[in-house]
């Protein structure tokens, strides 16, 4: 390790190095959302930033909903993932402004939602395509699906109900 790679020192028993930030990002990419277990916190854009502050690893999180009951579970999972990887005292910051936007969901996240049978949020207006058969002949069953951030839809063509991850 070159001295120039040092970012912080004297924490969790070793010196931090330039590998720690990409390493932390890949750890976060393995922490799944409690409500939609096929997408990670990075896929959803919940992890906003990872940096060093005062020699500690700091992860900035913006929950999808400020009142989302999954927020505490997300923080626990993030802390656990970092601690298991040897980051002894991670600092988690919850950032509420700007508010989370469904536009922050990555392309990979959208594809994973679709593969799971959840229609990803669409920013343009118009019908929500069925995740099973791609038909646009769909209807809203309920604005409130299994969780607050989803609505329940039904496809008139294949008759299958599906969740739509709401655009906010």
Q: Which residues bind Zn ion (CB under 5 A)?
A: 130, 132-133, 135, 155, 157-158
Helix, strand, coil percent content, the chain, rounded in steps of 5: 25, 25, 55
Q: Give the number of other CB atoms < 10 A from CB of residue 102.
A: 19
Please identify, using beta-carbon distances, which residue of 60 and 158 lies nearer to Zn ion.
Answer: 158
Please identify, using beta-carbon distances, which residue of 101 and 122 lies nearer to Zn ion.
Answer: 122
Please identify, using beta-carbon distances, which residue of 22 and 127 lies nearer to Zn ion.
Answer: 127
Minimum distance, C-beta of residue 131 to Zn ion, in the bound complex (Å): 8
**Separation CA 82–CA 75 (nearest Å):** 11
Tokens of 132: 């099973």
How would you label 4-39 residue by residue, b for 16+ Cβ within 10 Å and e otherwise?
eeeebeebbeebbeeebeebbeebbeebbbbbbeeb
Please identify, using beta-carbon distances, which residue of 81 and 155 lies nearer to Zn ion.
Answer: 155
Minimum distance, C-beta of residue 137 to Zn ion, in the bound complex (Å): 8
Minimum distance, C-beta of residue 139 to Zn ion, in the bound complex (Å): 11
Tell me how far the alpha carbon of residue 38 is from its chain's centroid: 10
Minimum distance, C-beta of residue 144 to Zn ion, in the bound complex (Å): 21
Minimum distance, C-beta of residue 128 to Zn ion, in the bound complex (Å): 11
Pairing status of strand 118-119 against strand 150-155: unpaired
Please identify, using beta-carbon distances, which residue of 98 and 126 lies nearer to Zn ion.
Answer: 126
């Amino acid at each position: 390790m070159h001295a120039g790679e040092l970012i912080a020192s004297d924490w969790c028993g070793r010196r931090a190095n330039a590998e720690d930030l990409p390493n932390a990002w890949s750890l976060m990419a393995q922490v799944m959302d409690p409500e939609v277990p096929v997408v990670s916190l990075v896929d959803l854009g919940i992890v906003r930033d990872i940096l060093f502050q005062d020699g500690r690893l700091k992860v900035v999180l913006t929950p999808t909903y400020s009142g989302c009951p999954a927020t505490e579970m997300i923080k626990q999972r993030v802390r656990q993932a970092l601690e298991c990887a040897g980051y002894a005292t991670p600092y988690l910051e919850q950032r509420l402004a700007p508010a989370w936007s469904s536009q922050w969901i990555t392309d990979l996240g959208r594809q994973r939602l679709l593969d799971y049978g959840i229609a990803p949020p669409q920013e343009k207006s118009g019908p929500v395509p069925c995740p099973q058969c791609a038909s646009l002949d769909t209807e809203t069953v309920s604005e409130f699906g299994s969780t607050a951030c989803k609505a329940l839809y039904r496809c008139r063509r294949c008759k299958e109900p599906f969740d739509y991850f709401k655009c906010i």
